[in-house]
Structure 1
Amino acid sequence: MRARKRAVLKFTLLLSLYRSRSLIADFIRKDFVGKYKGTTMGFTWAVITPLCIILIFTFVFSTILKVRFGGGRSADFVVYFLCGMIPWLTFSDALNRSASLIRENAHFVQRIIFPVEILPLSVSLSGMIQLGIGFTLLLGVVGVFFTPLTWTVVFVPLLVCLQLLFTIGLTWTIACLGVFVRDTGHAIGLGTQMWMFLTPIIYPAELVPESLKILLVINPMAHLVKGYRLAIIEGTVPDIAGLLILTCVMVMVAAFGYLFFMRSKPAFADVL
């Protein structure tokens, strides 16, 4: 019975998204392009911004601070750091924006036939476009200036898809909570900052004491960041069994977020 319910939920979700594909595409375009609307350089900023971030961090960590792990080069730390920071910036931005997303688009809630659930989805997908640009630039910089890339970079798109599932599930949940609890935005802002420091982005996971390793085990972003680094820096295949488990977790998070959002959706109009 439970398996049947899960299958029905999955089919309903996919059917709903398929029917709304044109709207989703429009909102993704509006969200992504809207950031640069009216600017002189337009879409070019989508490339300049992550490129500047990469170059600035490279200069600061390798030239000024000369940060390194063990006997490694400063350049090694730069790549290590960026493989974690670039996906994290996209992830945290989507979560923080989703807290006020429904309230900012309250006029859509009043439209009975409008699928308001596509709003968090569109924000998540828009962020993935920026993540794709960031990773493309990073791979180019790494391949040209640091270390030759290997075929294992083909796992990066897979990891991005897993991050997308995780992000969508959380944005649905947070967007829903943001309707009923106005403090959600502040809590998420603080929470994402704490979460970042609990994820091995600016430090290696090996430095975490054994008594606290459980925090890494239950942290999906820690596994994603590790996967990105294995594929880009180490040139090794991420643990397949671990990827399968991570995929199941991400699917469950996405399914929970969708179900939670859809069950709460009828009450949105009363609150807004």
Structure 2
Amino acid sequence: MDLKNNIFLLKELVKRDISGRYKDSMMGGVWAFVAPLIMLAVYTFVFSMVFQARWGDGGTSKTAFALNLFIGIILHGVLAESMSRAPSLMQQHASYVKKIIFPLWLLPMVPVISGTFHALISLIVLLLAVLLFQGLWPWQTLFLPFVFLPIVFFALGLAWLIAGIGVYFRDITQIMPMFITIMMFMAPIFYPASAIPEQYRSWLLLNPLTYAVEMGRGALFLGQLPSLSAYLIYLTAAVLSAAAGLWFFSKVRKGFADVL
């Protein structure tokens, strides 16, 4: 299949995936906006009213912790969506595996794009909340799309890798929820990276979420841009991860039909 047909097929798969999520609900796609709004309200209530949590020196704002937390949750959601759905993708589309001409490598891309779509809607909710509670965003907020870019590449690499492994090792379906939770707590989502003792802080960088979360917070809340060289290294690592995942998937794909 040529590139044009692959793009059309991917677009249709993503469209079906997103619309299928809200197929039987009365509010339909409105839930894509309402759900993150409700979650942000819950975070704000729990962490600012119940736990009286504060973020660094942002003690003057009761919502500062919830807003800082939410951007980390959004970025984590892209990886979580991809990693949780990837293990069983080939089993769910076993009929496609039998079709030699079907580009199976497109299937792991669907949850990544779907997760990114919902993350961007959540980001709009976050931006509106920041505007409401903290005023106009700094101009560095324009950098936020570049924050998502490496995460999308990491998500693609992990989705291809896990989808390929999932065909041969079904137990990975049970492992993923635990691994996703570990990734969340081993990234500075519920806490700033500065809260970790300096001698252990570098270990956080092994988590692909860490740098993205720090960049996102820096741009949106502190008006800071990351070092260009550091960002390019991070982006390069993400692209290489995606390439490695695709390479692995293409290698193991040949045995899918025999296993399924």
Bin of the TM-score, shorter chain as denominator length: over 0.9
Is 1:175 aligned to residue 175 of structure 2?
no
In the aligned structure 2, how far is the partner of 1:268 from the partner of 1:188?
21
* Contact 2:77–2:115 under 8 Å retained in 1: no
Give ranges in structure 1 of 5+ residues lacking alignment: 1-14
Instruction: Map residues 36-185 of structure 1 onto 2, 5 A cutoff.
Output: 36-73=22-59, 74-185=62-173
Could you say if the C-alpha distance between residues 212 and 16 of structure 1 is closer, same or farther in structure 2, counting changes exceeding 3 Å? farther
The Cα of 1:147 is off from its aligned counterpart by 3.7
* Contact 2:22–2:28 under 8 Å retained in 1: yes
Could you say if the C-alpha distance between residues 178 and 248 of structure 1 is closer, same or farther in structure 2, counting changes exceeding 3 Å? same
The Cα of 1:189 is off from its aligned counterpart by 1.3
The Cα of 1:18 is off from its aligned counterpart by 4.6
Is 1:26 aligned to residue 12 of structure 2?
yes
Tell me the number of residue pairs that the alignment of Structure 1 and Structure 2 aligns: 258
Residue type matched to 2:195 in 1?
L
* Contact 1:79–1:233 under 8 Å retained in 2: no
* Contact 2:55–2:68 under 8 Å retained in 1: no
Is 1:208 aligned to residue 196 of structure 2?
yes
Could you say if the C-alpha distance between residues 106 and 63 of structure 1 is closer, same or farther in structure 2, counting changes exceeding 3 Å? same
Can you list the C-alpha shifts for 1:144-193, whole angstroms capped at 9, x where unaligned? Answer: 22242011111111111221111011100000000000111111111111
* Contact 1:99–1:174 under 8 Å retained in 2: yes
Is 1:266 aligned to residue 258 of structure 2?
no
Is 1:194 aligned to residue 161 of structure 2?
no
Residue type matched to 2:190 in 1?
I
The Cα of 1:85 is off from its aligned counterpart by 1.1
Residue range with higher mean Cα deviation, 209-218 or 229-238: 209-218
The Cα of 1:90 is off from its aligned counterpart by 2.7
Residue type matched to 1:85 in 2?
I
**Residue 222 of structure 1: aligned partner:** 210
Residue type matched to 1:210 in 2?
E
**Residue 249 of structure 1: aligned partner:** 237
In the aligned structure 2, how far is the partner of 1:116 from the partner of 1:235?
42
In the aligned structure 2, how far is the partner of 1:201 from the partner of 1:147?
23
Could you say if the C-alpha distance between residues 128 and 70 of structure 1 is closer, same or farther in structure 2, counting changes exceeding 3 Å? closer
* Contact 2:63–2:133 under 8 Å retained in 1: no
* Contact 2:219–2:225 under 8 Å retained in 1: yes
The Cα of 1:17 is off from its aligned counterpart by 5.2
Residue range with higher mean Cα deviation, 201-210 or 175-184: 201-210
Can you list the C-alpha shifts for 1:63-117, whole angstroms capped at 9, x where unaligned? Answer: 2221013553232211111111121123212111111111111111011111111
Give the percent of matched residue pairs that are identical in Structure 1 and Structure 2: 33
Residue type matched to 1:238 in 2?
P
Question: With structure 2 as the length reference, what TM-score do the two structures score?
Answer: 0.95
The Cα of 1:263 is off from its aligned counterpart by 1.0
In the aligned structure 2, how far is the partner of 1:250 from the partner of 1:130?
21
* Contact 2:82–2:115 under 8 Å retained in 1: yes
In the aligned structure 2, how far is the partner of 1:139 from the partner of 1:207?
25
Question: With structure 1 as the length reference, what TM-score do the two structures score?
Answer: 0.91
Could you say if the C-alpha distance between residues 16 and 173 of structure 1 is closer, same or farther in structure 2, counting changes exceeding 3 Å? farther
Give ranges in structure 2 of 5+ residues lacking alignment: none
